[in-house]
Amino acid sequence: MIAAHEVDDGTADRFLLDAPGLSLLVFTSPSCLDCRAARERLPDMNLNVDRLVWVDASENRGLVTRYEVMHLPSMYLVRDGVFYGAVNARLEATDIGRQVALALQSWPAELP
């Protein structure tokens, strides 16, 4: 099982900047059916990430705005405090894994 952490508008930046390795930042909402499925299934997937970092989009509008979240659930990749962009994938381990690998080939940027 992948380690999981909850962050909010006040804790996300410091946590992501300090977290070593790969973090999959996942925006969800309690009222979203697909989000509930993501929360249920992602921790048990065999993903090549060190941790899942959950953001409740309904409570953290600042992060939603900064990451330009357009749909839920939304996933973003951060490695060693560096932003590698969105992970646009179906809720399947092979698709997420492929998109994580592609994201790591892109140019990194500062956290939004």
Tens of pLDDT, residues 47-71: 999 999 999 999 999 999 999 999 9
Please provide the average confidence, as pLDDT, over all residues in the chain.
97
Q: How many structural domains comprise the chain? A: 1
State residue 1's pLDDT score: 80
Q: Is residue 84 part of a domain?
A: yes
Task: Output the domain CATH number for residue 16.
Answer: 3.40.30.10
Please report whether residue 50 resides in a domain: yes
Whole-number Cα distances in Å, 75 to 9, 52, 88, 98:
16, 10, 7, 13
Question: Is 112 a member of any domain?
Answer: no
Residues 43, 52 contacting (CB under 8 angstroms): yes
- pTM here? 0.96
- Please give the residue range of the domain that contains residue 89: 3-104
Report the percent of the chain where pLDDT is more than 90. 99
How far is residue 88's CA from residue 19's CA, in Å, rounded to a whole number?
22
| 109 belongs to a structural domain | no
